[in-house]
Structure 1
Amino acid sequence: MSSLKSFFKTLKVEKVYRRKFNLIQGTQFFHLAILKDIATE
């Protein structure tokens, strides 16, 4: 039972980290797009 709890806990943590990682990737992509727009003007 305790192993199942820890399993779900790691799943939850993984989801949170993945969301943070996706957010970071998204902002990096956004900044790159802005820089490209500025460079092409």
Structure 2
Amino acid sequence: MIKLEVPDVVTAIGVLGTALKRELFLLDKNILDTKKKLKVFEEC
């Protein structure tokens, strides 16, 4: 469980939204890297 101390719900949603966007970006990057490695592996 994550506890954040923020002044209101709107701020909390903003903070969580930013964190989720970052996680999604990192996930997309990892998927892209994995696909590239798989392609290189299949070509060998």
Q: Structure 1 length normalisation: TM-score? A: 0.76
1:13 aligns with 2:11: no
Aligned residue-pair number? 38
Mark the runs of 5 or more structure 1 residues left unpaired by the alignment: none
**Aligned-residue CA RMSD (Å):** 1.5
Greater relative contact order, per chain length (Cα 8 Å cut-off, separation 6+): 2
Mark the runs of 5 or more structure 2 residues left unpaired by the alignment: 1-6
